[in-house]
Amino acid sequence: MNILQPEEYKERTESIPPFEVRVMSYRLGATYHCTVYNLDPGAVIVRSDGTTRNEAETKALTRAKGRLASAAHRLNED
Amino acid sequence: MASIGYAHPEVLVETAWADQHKSDSAIRIIEVDVDTKAFEEGHIPGAVGWNWQTQLADQVRRDLVPKADLEKLLGQSGIDNTTTILLYGDNNNWFAAWAFWQLKIYGHRDVRIINGGRKKWLAEGRALTVDLPVLEQKTYRASQPDNSLRAYLTDVMKVAGSTNGWSLVDVRSGDEYTGKIFSPPGLPETCQRGGHIPGALSVPWGKNVNEDGTFKNVNDLKSLYETLGITPDRKVVAYCRIGERSSLTWFTLKYLLGYENVKNYDGSWTEWGNLVNAPVARGERP
């Protein structure tokens, strides 16, 4: 069984107006994995990976913005 | 130790303990994630991944996994009736708690949750693999479902609006409770109306856990619920959107605080918020 150690685990909060999201990333072997959660209630929005942390996070955040756009649109309608 | 004072500390294990015992033949570790692809990214060596959408639900009607299907799943996972099952997952164990709830409904004796779940395991840099374990097929016999752990629509209808002796606990986010949003941001909207069941108190699931994903200590949990009048003598129904976040609150109340009569309403808001002519409350008041 091939065993790997997750390394460089990081979390931070970012704003994708009008929402806040939590960005979690870590490295497993040669791959960086990133998951974006909505801050409240804390559900996974998207997940992505890349060869660098920046690549993994940029891809994930771009997709998260797309997913959150419709929710923001509804809020603006109210 | 974090589990001191819990009513049933035996149902919670720390990541370090799980790491030490992950290869024990009497133990099977199961990962259940909201994000059904997370397991493939890397998981605890020896763990089996269960898909909540296809393996922990009836595939025809909206219901729990049928008894025969659960028996097959457990047997294929190398689990028999004597196996200790350790559950963990993403989102602070939302669907690990969902699996725990179903396993208790079907009578599994020894099932435990890894405190902090996938998040804490990753943050601590503990070993992962993408390889699948070689499993020995086992035979499993489930009990008839214990429906005392479950609330149906008809049960909730009886207490909505006049919750005498009952506490309805809405564990969704504040914005879902008030009706400002119909679903968690970025997730599909699966209801026709926003708001909450009349009489329900708002106690978002996240108030049960610490930043690292572990459950809060017993005093903090007691304070959280009892200051709202949700006391151990009351009968409690927890609900959310589809029943997984509320299974975490159900776990907290029943096993960490020892409440005798707690039910999870898995129909939750995706059922109530789609009903024609059902009473709905909007705003911050119960």
- Comparing B113-127, B150-164, B217-231, B232-246, the range with the smallest average pLDDT is B150-164
- Structural domain boundaries, residue B35: 9-146
Greatest CA separation found in chain A?
53
- How many separate domains does chain B show? 2
A21 touches A14 (CB < 8 A): yes
Tens-place pLDDT, residues A35-77: 999 888 888 899 999 999 999 999 999 999 999 987 776 665 6
| Residue B24 shares a structural domain with residue B136 | yes
* Cα–Cα dist A28/B174, whole Å: 35
Q: Do A68 and B185 make contact, defined as CB atoms within 8 angstroms?
A: yes
Task: Out of B127, B146, B165, pick the residue that ends a domain.
Answer: B146
| Residue B14 shares a structural domain with residue B139 | yes
pLDDT of the residue at A9: 97
* Residue B191 known to be catalytic: no
| Residue B127 shares a structural domain with residue B172 | no
B189, pLDDT greater than 80: no
pLDDT of the residue at A42: 84
Q: Which residues of B touch A1 (CB under 8 A)?
A: 45, 129, 131, 133
Q: Do B122 and A35 make contact, defined as CB atoms within 8 angstroms?
A: no
Residue B263 belongs to a domain: yes
Q: Name the residue among A37, A40, A45 with its Cβ closest to that of B173.
A: A40
Q: For residue A39, with 0-12 CB atoms within 10 Å meaning exposed, 13-18 middle and 19 or more buried, which class applies? A: middle
| Residue B111 shares a structural domain with residue B226 | no
ipTM rounded to 2 decimals: 0.90
| Residue B179 shares a structural domain with residue B120 | no
Q: Do A67 and B186 make contact, defined as CB atoms within 8 angstroms?
A: yes
The whole-angstrom distance between B135's CA and the closest CA on chain A is 14
* Cα–Cα dist B157/B191, whole Å: 18
| Residue B33 shares a structural domain with residue B132 | yes
B8 touches B258 (CB < 8 A): yes
Q: For A67, which residue in chain B has the nearest alpha carbon?
A: B186
CATH number of domain containing B154: 3.40.250.10
Q: Name the residue among B127, B133, B205 with its Cβ closest to that of A5.
A: B127
Residue B4 belongs to a domain: no
Q: Which of B73, B169, B197, B240 is catalytic?
A: B240
In this complex, how many residue pairs, one in chain A and one in chain B, have their CB atoms less than 8 Å apart?
Answer: 97
Determine the number of helices (DSSP H) and then strands (DSSP E) in chain A: 1, 4
Q: What are phi and psi of A46, to 5 degrees?
A: -145, 165
* Cα–Cα dist B280/B2, whole Å: 39
Q: What are phi and psi of B160, to 5 degrees?
A: -60, 130
| Residue B176 shares a structural domain with residue B112 | no
B257, pLDDT greater than 70: yes
* Cα–Cα dist B175/B183, whole Å: 9
| Residue B13 shares a structural domain with residue B137 | yes
Q: Which domains does chain A have, with CATH numbers?
A: 6-77 (3.30.67)
Q: Which residues of B touch A3 (CB under 8 A)?
A: 45, 127-129
CA A59 and chain centroid, separation:
9
- The arithmetic mean of pLDDT across residues B256-271, rounded, is 97
Put simply, whether B206 touches A (Cβ < 8 Å) is: yes
Residue B277 belongs to a domain: no
| Residue percentage of chain B with pLDDT more than 90 | 91
| Residue B30 shares a structural domain with residue B135 | yes
First to last CA, chain B: 36
Tens-place pLDDT, residues B142-167: 999 999 999 999 999 999 987 788 99
Buried b / exposed e over A42-53, threshold 16 CB at 10 Å, is bbbbbbbbbeeb
* Cα–Cα dist B87/B91, whole Å: 13
Query: Which are the contacts of B173, defined by CB distance < 8 A and separation ≥ 6?
Result: A40, A41, B181, B184, B204
| Residue B110 shares a structural domain with residue B155 | no
Tens-place pLDDT, residues B60-109: 999 999 999 999 999 999 999 999 999 999 989 999 999 999 999 999 99
Mean of the per-residue pLDDT values of chain B = 95
Q: Which residues of A touch B269 (CB under 8 A)?
A: none
* Cα–Cα dist B46/A1, whole Å: 9
Q: Which residues of B touch A74 (CB under 8 A)?
A: 181-182, 189
Residue B61 belongs to a domain: yes
Q: What are phi and psi of B128, to 5 degrees?
A: -130, 160
Residue B48 belongs to a domain: yes
| Residue B133 shares a structural domain with residue B35 | yes
| Residue B219 shares a structural domain with residue B158 | yes
* Cα–Cα dist B165/B119, whole Å: 37
Q: Which residues of B touch A64 (CB under 8 A)?
A: 186
Give me the residues of A, 10-69, that contact B with CB < 8 A. 19, 24, 26, 28, 33, 35, 37-38, 40-47, 49, 64, 67-68
Looking only at the bridges linking them, the beta strands covering A44-50 and A31-38 are: antiparallel
| Residue percentage of chain B with pLDDT more than 70 | 99
The whole-angstrom distance between A53's CA and the closest CA on chain B is 15
- The arithmetic mean of pLDDT across residues B121-139, rounded, is 96
